[in-house]
């Protein structure tokens, strides 16, 4: 396995997301409490600290939140996205204008805690299957507006990404097969439509469907809601010709056994939705 | 207690959110699988069904997702936001153009499952404290970009809302007190700054702070991380003059006892972040 | 009275407003006159001077307008928002690229003259009532798109802000009372709906309504279009328990007498709409 | 004089402006007062009535505000933009969902009162000079973000428009002349730069400048801050060859005499900034 | 070959594109010529006709342009995108408000002529190679802001799409290979990074590189700037295991021979940039 | 002829255009190939070189593309917009972060090649008519969304601009004349509607129409699709009183003869649509 680079979020997406989040949190009047009680030129020092073990994700968003309010704030990263941190670890230090630090705090933390929660949960799955060739991957079940960031967090946690939208890969399900007149017809139509740079995955529920589907030459096959026994048989049938994705009933208790069947990918929405946020906080001292 | 109306999401926010989510999911090419396999004029019928017990929230967003792709789609609501539904319940029926239904499916479900998860979890807290005057309420710990919707979901679940941003209420914490030179000075400054239509809440950690804070006349006091004993004493000290919000260590195991101390509000981020999504799905039959 | 801080406009709102105003003024071709006649690298020095006595408001917007066209322009503030300036006073000095200074001139001045006009007019009202405890405050009658800035200008002029939108405070008027089935019912419904961090104001036209309304415990009462005699009686009836806002027939001739009745707030749209702009100009010398 | 059509606002601008104004007024929670007290399906009837004599402007914006909240609202225009109405006149009737009517009220009125104020004030100037060939026209001194609407209101009031931005006409002032090396050089440079579809106006302060400027063949000349005597001489010098715009010291007391000097246009910022809003209100009866 | 469906543009992209184009063309004042000369309620009938042989693309954009100005306009499509039309053919009929038709004309035609030009030119390439299995495809060399539409037009003309952006497929070029330390290392790194749903293409300049690259198992190989002889050898080397894309020196004179070498895809920027617009016009008769 | 300045693109338009183009090219995941193969801190040096003779246009957009991804990139311009460059010329040098350079490459080149193609083609027309007083000018037939940039490129190539939109000049065609009741009536209506700062052009097809039109005093007359003989007669009829624009059948073969008839402007869509892009590339060496 090559040493993998971490993904990098598009700069423009970060800027837009922070701008929108600040508008949401500051409304038309901004941080009225700080305006009432803290002098405009007061300075502060803050430490972003982690209060439980987890994998960090979202530091570029946090940094951008502080920079958006005051480009002269000093933001020192002590860890990087993808790092595992222990309780009590200082993740970053921020110093400069007090109002700016207080005004960006919640936006920075809301992103950071949410994404680190996803990275941390993904890492738990990844650890369970590290002894196999299988990888854990996400789905399109993401929080609306945050897909780019949540898919990024999955990679920070050691997971892989499924398609990003309806447009960048073909995923043929039962409805498409029914309308197209069969699994072969559906894949043929997809291949012609999609061209040579889009992968075609077909979802099958039975081993018979799998055998039929393989003949039409998809790039990936999804074995949906199959038993471990079926998965193993599926792996034997495919015999390394294409990638196999297992889906359905994936959780921390089942993932190891699924991975050991020999599949390549295990997809689940559990790593992007329903994850607990990682507990990070900002300790601010006003000078 | 008056029979309360449910909240209503601003129309313009719904439209913007759906537009952004569709751009995110459709990219530059749209649903390539359906384009490849389903005829442009194929029709379908779909049922939005709930697969576990929960409180629904987000139907106006779901309806808007389908309408955005094809205004002629028929969307029939069988339940309303705030309703509790049982497994197997049909929540809505959609019929019309097949590609439009498939193209809006994930955006509609991502909103609906996420918000219904929040409403459902809030309802659990609310049920535990229904025999008291206390209410459960959210914080500013929300998913960036979704604050309006998550606060709405909290109300659908029977909870109450804390401030929506830094701008619509004053919340004086230790840093503000330290800089202002005391709790009295901070509240005075806030009162003058804020005018007559913004509430002032002060966060206290000890009963001594509470006694001192009360003299300056805040509208709400937050008792942060206090023991049940301290909370009861705090309630006695305040003696009904202002609202009391309890915060810290709130979960389904502790909330009943906290409510029974006599506080008015119990705030927690647990109902907006880290909630499990409610399991809803779309069963589509192409005609 | 504590020494009050001036409000601070959210940075993101300033940037968006300046961007939109520059697009409006520059169109698709920019300042064609300067492009035709002034060399791209010509330098200039400009003085922003005030031509009548008034209170300044909007300097951060002016500064942002120049910075948007050329971040290297030097902008030196000689006064700050909230300062009273005399005719002939130099408010700020700008130097650097000549085309950038000319291109930002009108956007900077249009904001500055408009907001300073509001601050100046507000200050006139504030001066008339400075010997009382009453404060002058604005309403939601503001220029569409400029509410954040106009409310800010009111504070620069020594006034106070009413609610910023339909969402951050409850204001119960006759229609709501009629539909709710009475003043008591309306306030009860509002209190339950709003939660503990939103103030409830009720508008009353008669002293009988006031007496009835007080029983339901609103946070603020608006005495609408009452005579001075009625206002004085209203103040006596309320007896310091809640804030009183007087509304209707407020102008520079009447405001002193209204304030002397003992009310807390006097609200009027006259300070945000229909105000004369303050006469400021930019004297530019091209090097 | 041909019977003139009224201007028509670009549809897209109306939609964007209403969307932004509704976001501003509704925030993240919408009209909480109505949500608390009025049933979601309550109906209402409303009359938009004028409370003083004036010229109406902005009805398409008002209509769009109501339609944005509920496309099924019935909006009946009883007058049109440009019409003069008397106190007590019903300008429009609206009926349908009560919350939608209340929720759009302030946005509709803020536009309508502001623009009708401009139209009304413009009409006063226009009336004073109706016996001459001169017309009153606006400048680029407009409220940021509202230029299209304010210029439209000026036309509704019988005035004419000056250039809309820095890009659609050349206006050569002293700085440009100084840098270009003379009035002749500046106009030559402008003519070559601008092409054949942009007018070139030159501002002159003295009759000598006027004589010199005329030789270079501008399309319009602005006589800035000249006495009536000078204006009359200027008219004689120009002798009908190009348009003459008078500027400076224009108010309701001076405009008639200025117009009688024979100039073609009289420009003033007084009709767009510093105008009093026209008093219109919405009388709502909930069914 | 299955009968292929045409692609379908995402609805939201169409709406955004038309809105932006109308703002661009209408500015702050709209169609002043029509406002001056045509009554607001005048009706017209228009025929969108083609003046040379070509393939139509962009009708949904044209329809949206008219609908944006007046939803009640009748727009009757007589041909569909992808159809080949002859000179004199009526492509669509529009009837209704005259100003709306005139106001949308240029926006509708600018899209339609540009995209039909691309479709037409693509069809020429496609025709030259129709006897082979090769297909013509576009690149990322597209007009900024129009990529979705230009890629759509390529499909309307019978071509295929290359990747839509930097994010939806891996394309390994010399720089990546050099930095990664070899073709094998680069593909390995890409495969791990990309996951199972993104295709990996590697660009090779020599047959030796091709042989080396094949070992690492890419999904597609691009033979860049190779001679026909080299292409034929490359096809033999690959021997049907993966897709082959030929690139470089592709024009109408060379494409047939390139296709006959047995490659699968032939990519060229010539079908998206530098294409002649198709000559379509709008004949309008005002009733 | 005065030495003309080049036009300058509005800064805000450049920023918006680059932001949109980067979102288009980077999608939700950015440059996945570089992320997989190139270290985050790798450095590179790049040369933007021209591969054929042409006129450069778009360098400020290219520079902004690189700066948007990394403000610390060094961008050194070796030529300026409007310069003619020979094959092999280095137009600019860029150095700094390797991923940023690769990530901005296509956006920068797509603008630069497209606009330089327009400038180059315009320059060819301009050269053919340089011995006459006539100038070549563009129309409103531009790529949607790029009008500001394409009109700018025309000026870089030595051409002139026609109106920028429907709003900044009056162009009276046959439909307007028919509806208005005659050429005289149409011009009268336009003049009153437009005010004194908008030019009025009238399109005529015959010399009789020209004679009639001249009486109403337009600012410009367009002789549409006339023979050289007719054009010469038209020039004689107008006799220098107003500008003459020739339109129709303009190409590189005909433009010289048209210019020699004595007209002032020759307008054609050929310089903005259907132009070949100029061949520029980026040679990148990773350090």
Structural domain contains residue C64: yes
Residues of A in contact with D27 (CB under 8 A): 27-28
Residue D279 has pLDDT above 50, yes or no: yes
Q: How far apart are CA F67 and CA A198, in angstroms?
A: 31
Q: Do B5 and D39 count as a contact with CB atoms less than 8 A apart?
A: yes
Angle between helices E98-128 and E59-69 (to 10 degrees): 170
d(CA F281, nearest CA chain A) in Å: 23
Total domain count, chain C: 2
pLDDT tens by residue, F216-261:
999 999 999 999 999 999 999 999 999 999 999 999 999 999 999 9
pLDDT given for residue C1 in this prediction: 38
Which domain, by its residues, includes D142?
127-273
pLDDT band at D3 (very low <50, low <70, confident <90, very high): low
Q: Say yes or no: C32 and C150 in one domain.
A: no
pLDDT of residue A3: 56
Q: Specify the pLDDT at position D274.
A: 80
Residues of chain E with pLDDT under 70: 1-4
Q: Given an 8 Å threshold on Cβ–Cβ distance, is F10 in contact with C19?
A: no
A114 and A133, same structural domain? no
Q: What is the C-alpha to C-alpha distance for residues F26 and F104, in angstroms, rounded to an integer?
A: 9
Tokens of D3: 């019977």
In the prediction, which pLDDT does E2 show? 44
Residues of A in contact with D21 (CB under 8 A): none
Contacts of B271 (CB under 8 A, 6+ apart): B118, B121, B122, B125, B136, B138, B154, B157, B159
> Which pLDDT belongs to residue B5?
81
Q: Identify the residue whose tokens are 């442009």.
A: B40
Query: Buried (b) or exposed (e) across C98-134, using 16+ Cβ within 10 A?
Result: bbbbbbbbbbbbbbbbbbbbbbbbbbbbbebbeebeb
Q: What does the pLDDT look like over B198-234, one tens digit per residue?
A: 999 999 999 999 999 999 999 999 999 999 999 999 9
Residues of D identified as active-site: 106, 141, 173, 203, 224
pLDDT tens string F100-144: 999 999 999 999 999 999 999 999 999 999 999 999 999 999 999
Is there a domain that residue D6 lies in?
no
Task: Kindly tell me if the per-residue pLDDT of F94 is higher than 50.
Answer: yes
pLDDT tens for C10-30 read: 999 999 999 999 999 999 999
Interface partners of chain D (CB pairs < 8 Å, 3 or more) are A, B, C, E, F
Is 70 exceeded by the pLDDT of residue B166? yes
Are B186 and B53 in a shared domain? no
| pLDDT at position C2 | 44
Is residue D134 domain-shared with residue D268, that is, in the same domain? Answer: yes
pLDDT confidence tier of residue D234, bands split at 50, 70 and 90: very high
Taking phi over 0 as left and psi of -120 to 50 as alpha, with beta for the rest, E225 belongs to: left
Let me know whether D110 and D132 are in one domain: no
Percentage of chain E surpassing pLDDT 90? Answer: 95
Q: What is the pLDDT of residues E194-218, one digit of tens each?
A: 889 999 999 999 999 999 999 999 9
Q: Do D154 and D114 share a domain, yes or no?
A: no
What was the pLDDT predicted at B274? 80
Measure the CA–CA gap between B260 and B252, rounded to whole angstroms.
14
- Does C245 touch chain B if contact means CB atoms closer than 8 Å? yes
ipTM: 0.96
Concerning whether E224 is annotated as a catalytic residue, the answer is: yes
- Asked if the model's pLDDT at residue C116 lies above 80, the reply is yes
Nearest-CB residue to C1 (from B192, B245, B265): B192
Residue A2, pLDDT > 60, answer no
Are D70 and D185 members of one domain? no
Q: Which residues of B are catalytic?
A: 106, 141, 173, 203, 224
Tell me what percent of the residues of chain B surpass a pLDDT of 70: 99
To the nearest whole Å, the CA of F269 is away from the closest chain A CA by 34
Q: Are residues D151 and D99 in the same domain?
A: no
CA distance C137 to C160: 5
pLDDT of amino acid F3: 55
pLDDT band at residue A212, thresholds of 50, 70 and 90?
Answer: very high
**CATH number of residue F99's parent domain:** 3.90.1170.20
* Averaged pLDDT score across all residues of chain A: 96
pLDDT beyond 50 at F287: yes
Residue A30 resides in a domain = yes
pLDDT score recorded for residue C51: 96
pTM of the model: 0.97
Per-residue pLDDT reduced to its tens digit, F61-76: 999 999 999 999 999 9
Residues of E in contact with C27 (CB under 8 A): 27-28
Closest CA to E270 of E142, E113, E131: E142
Q: Decide: A150 and A138 in contact? Cβ < 8 Å.
A: yes
Output A1 or D195, whichever has higher pLDDT: D195
**How many whole angstroms separate alpha carbon D180 and alpha carbon D189?**
8
Tell whether A28 is within 8 A of chain D (Cβ): yes
Helices (DSSP H) in B144-206: which residue ranges? 147-156, 174-180, 183-194
pLDDT digits (tens, 9 = 90+) for D23-43: 999 999 999 999 999 999 999
Mean pLDDT computed over D68-74: 98
Q: Is residue C27 situated within a structural domain?
A: yes
pLDDT score at A207: 97
What's the number of CA atoms in the CB half-sphere (13 Å) around residue A165? 30
From chain E, pick out residues whose CB is under 8 angstroms from the CB of D4.
36
Quote the pLDDT of residue A169.
97
Do E105 and E147 have their domain in common?
no
In a domain, F5, yes or no: no
The answer to whether the CB of A169 falls within 8 A of the CB of A163 is: yes
User: What does the pLDDT look like over D109-121, one tens digit per residue?
Assistant: 999 999 999 999 9
Q: What is the mean pLDDT of residues F268-273?
A: 95
Residue A4 inside a domain? The answer is: no
Six token digits for residue F55 = 């006129």
Secondary structure of residue B119 in the 3-state scheme: helix
CA-nearest residue to B32 within chain E is: E7
Q: Are residues F186 and F114 in the same domain?
A: no
Report yes or no: D213 and D246 within 8 Å, Cβ to Cβ: no
Residues of chain B with pLDDT > 90, as a percent, come to 95
Asked if the model's pLDDT at residue B2 lies above 70, the reply is no
Q: What one-character-per-residue DSSP string does B197-213 give?
A: TB-EEEEESSHHHHHHH
> In this structure, how many other beta carbons lie within 10 angstroms of the beta carbon of residue F4?
15
With an 8 Å Cβ cutoff, is F24 touching chain B?
yes
**Closest listed residue to residue A246, CA positions, set A272, A264, A229, A273:** A264
| Substitution target from A8, A195, A218, A245 for chain E, most E beta carbons within 10 A | A195
pLDDT of residue F274: 80
- Average pLDDT estimate for C123-144: 97
E77 shares its domain with E94: yes
Pairwise CA distance, residues B141 & D233, whole Å: 72
Q: Determine, for residues D23 and B13 on separate chains, whether the beta-carbon distance falls below 8 Å.
A: yes
CATH number at residue F188: 3.20.20.70
D136 and D249 housed in the same domain:
yes
Q: What is the mean pLDDT of residues F42-68?
A: 97
Has residue C74 been placed in a domain? yes
pLDDT confidence of residue E55: 98
Instruction: Kindly state whether residue D50 falls inside one of the protein's structural domains.
Output: yes
């Amino acid at each position: 396995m090559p040493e993998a680079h971490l993904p990098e979020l598009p700069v423009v997406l970060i800027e837009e997301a922070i701008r929108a989040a600040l508008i949401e949190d500051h409304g038309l009047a901004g941080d009225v409490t700080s305006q009432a009680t803290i002098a405009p030129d007061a300075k502060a020092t803050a430490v972003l600290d982690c209060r439980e073990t987890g994998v960090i994700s979202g530091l570029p968003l946090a940094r951008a939140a502080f920079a958006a309010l005051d480009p002269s704030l000093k933001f020192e990263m002590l860890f990087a996205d993808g790092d595992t941190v222990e309780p009590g670890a200082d993740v970053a230090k921020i110093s400069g204008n007090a109002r700016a630090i207080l005004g960006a705090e919640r936006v920075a933390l809301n992103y950071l805690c949410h994404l680190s929660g996803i990275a941390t949960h993904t890492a738990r799955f990844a650890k369970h299957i590290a002894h196999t060739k299988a990888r854990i991957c996400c789905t399109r079940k993401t929080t609306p507006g945050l897909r780019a960031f949540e898919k990024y967090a999955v990679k920070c946690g050691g997971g892989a990404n499924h398609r990003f939208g309806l447009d960048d890969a073909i995923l043929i399900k039962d409805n498409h097969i029914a309308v197209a007149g069969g699994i072969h017809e559906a894949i043929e139509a997809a291949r012609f439509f999609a061209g040579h740079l889009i992968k075609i995955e077909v979802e099958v529920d039975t081993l018979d469907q799998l055998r039929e589907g393989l003949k039409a030459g998809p790039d990936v096959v999804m074995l949906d809601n199959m038993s471990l026994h079926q998965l193993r048989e599926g792996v034997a049938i495919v015999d390394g010709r294409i990638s196999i994705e297992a889906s359905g009933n994936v959780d921390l208790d089942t993932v190891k056994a699924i991975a050991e069947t020999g599949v390549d990918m295990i997809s689940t929405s559990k790593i992007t939705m329903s994850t607990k946020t990682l507990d990070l906080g900002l300790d601010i001292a006003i000078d």
